[in-house]
Chain A
Amino acid sequence: MPYEMPWTEPRLAPSAPEIRVGHIRTTFWCWARCAFCDFSRPHATRNLNDAPPAIHWDALASSPLDISSASWIKLGGGLSLREPFDYWLEFIRHLRPMTQARIQVFSVVELMLFQRETRRSFHDLMALLKWAGADALGSGGTESLTHHVVPFRPLAPTPEDYGHILDAGRGVDMEIGVSSMSGPGWPEGFILHSPDFFEVKPFRPMNTHIPSRETPHLMDLVRSIQILRQNHPKTPIFVSRPGPGDDRREILSGAGANGYLIHDWELTP
Chain B
Amino acid sequence: MREPLSFVPTLSLPPTCGPEWARYLSLSFLGGYGGVGHIISPDPLEGVASQEITRPLPGHVWATHKVKRLKRTEAPESLSLWLDIPVGLDHPSLTTLNDAQKVAPIRRVVLQRTAPEPLARLDQSLSSLTEIFGADKLWLDADSLGGDAVSYLLWHHPELNIQGHQALEHLLGLARVLERRIVVRDFSGRPSKALAPLPTYAVPELPRGRSRDMPIHGGIV
Interface contact A12-B119, CB-CB below 8 Å: yes
> Quick one: CB contact mask for B187-221 with A, threshold 8 Å, 1 for yes?
00000000000111111001000111111111011
Q: How far is the CA of A38 from the CA of B203 in the complex (A)?
A: 19
Q: How far is the CA of A251 from the CA of B120 in the complex (A)?
A: 10
Which residues of the other chain, B, contact A212 by a CB distance below 8 angstroms?
A: 200-201
Tally B residues with Cβ within 8 Å of A: 37
What is the CB-to-nearest-CB distance from A25 to chain B, in angstroms, rounded to a whole number? 19
Query: Does A154 belong to the interface (CB within 8 Å)?
Result: yes
Q: How far is the CA of A12 from the CA of B121 in the complex (A)?
A: 11
Interface contact A251-B152, CB-CB below 8 Å: yes
Query: Does B30 belong to the interface (CB within 8 Å)?
Result: no
Interface contact A154-B214, CB-CB below 8 Å: yes
Name the segment of A132-140, A173-181, A215-223 touching the other chain.
A215-223
Q: How far is the CA of A31 from the CA of B218 in the complex (A)?
A: 9
Interface contact A214-B203, CB-CB below 8 Å: no
Interface contact A184-B176, CB-CB below 8 Å: yes
Interface contact B211-A151, CB-CB below 8 Å: yes
Name the segment of A94-102, A164-172, A241-249, A257-265 touching the other chain.
A241-249
A48-B220, A116-B221, A247-B119 known; A151 and B206 CB under 8 Å? yes
Query: Does B156 belong to the interface (CB within 8 Å)?
Result: yes
A116-B216, A185-B200, A251-B119 known; A245 and B211 CB under 8 Å? no
Which residues of the other chain, A, contact B199 by a CB distance below 8 angstroms?
A: 213-214
Q: Which of B146, B201, B206 lies in contact with A214, CB distance below 8 A?
A: B201
Q: How far is the CA of A46 from the CA of B216 in the complex (A)?
A: 11
Query: Does B155 belong to the interface (CB within 8 Å)?
Result: yes
Query: Does A187 belong to the interface (CB within 8 Å)?
Result: yes
Query: Does B177 belong to the interface (CB within 8 Å)?
Result: yes
Interface contact A245-B201, CB-CB below 8 Å: no
Interface contact B176-A217, CB-CB below 8 Å: yes
Query: Does B4 belong to the interface (CB within 8 Å)?
Result: no
Interface contact A184-B174, CB-CB below 8 Å: no
A151-B210, A217-B176, A217-B177 known; A248 and B148 CB under 8 Å? yes
What is the CB-to-nearest-CB distance from A108 to chain B, in angstroms, rounded to a whole number? 14
Using CB atoms, name the residue of chain B closest to A210.
B201
**Residue from A48, A214, A218 having most chain B Cβ neighbours under 10 A:** A218
Q: Which residues in chain A, 103-150, are within 8 Å of chain B measured between CB atoms? A: 113, 116-117, 144, 148-149
Q: Which residues in chain A, 196-212, are within 8 Å of chain B measured between CB atoms? A: 205, 210-212
Query: Does B45 belong to the interface (CB within 8 Å)?
Result: no
Which residues of the other chain, A, contact B216 by a CB distance below 8 angstroms?
A: 31, 113, 116, 154-155
Which residues of the other chain, A, contact B120 by a CB distance below 8 angstroms?
A: 12, 250
What is the CB-to-nearest-CB distance from B149 to chain A, in angstroms, rounded to a whole number? 5
Query: Does A186 belong to the interface (CB within 8 Å)?
Result: yes
Query: Does B151 belong to the interface (CB within 8 Å)?
Result: yes
Interface contact A148-B203, CB-CB below 8 Å: yes
Query: Does A10 belong to the interface (CB within 8 Å)?
Result: yes
Which residues of the other chain, A, contact B212 by a CB distance below 8 angstroms?
A: 151, 154-156, 158
Query: Does A183 belong to the interface (CB within 8 Å)?
Result: yes
What is the CB-to-nearest-CB distance from B199 to chain A, in angstroms, rounded to a whole number? 7
What is the CB-to-nearest-CB distance from A14 to chain B, in angstroms, rounded to a whole number? 10
Query: Does B116 belong to the interface (CB within 8 Å)?
Result: yes
Q: Which residues of A are at the interface with B, using a C-beta cutoff of 8 A?
A: 7, 9-10, 12, 31, 46, 48, 79, 81, 113, 116-117, 144, 148-149, 151-156, 158, 183-187, 205, 210-214, 217-220, 245-248, 250-251
Q: Which residues of B are at the interface with A, using a C-beta cutoff of 8 A?
A: 116, 118-120, 123, 146-149, 151-152, 155-156, 170, 173-174, 176-178, 198-203, 206, 210-218, 220-221
- Closest 7 interchain pairs by CB? A212-B201, A217-B173, A247-B148, A154-B214, A219-B177, A248-B148, A151-B210
- A and B contact pairs by CB, cutoff 8 A, 17 listed: A7-B177, A10-B155, A12-B123, A46-B217, A46-B218, A148-B203, A152-B211, A153-B211, A154-B212, A154-B215, A158-B212, A212-B200, A213-B198, A214-B199, A217-B173, A219-B155, A248-B148
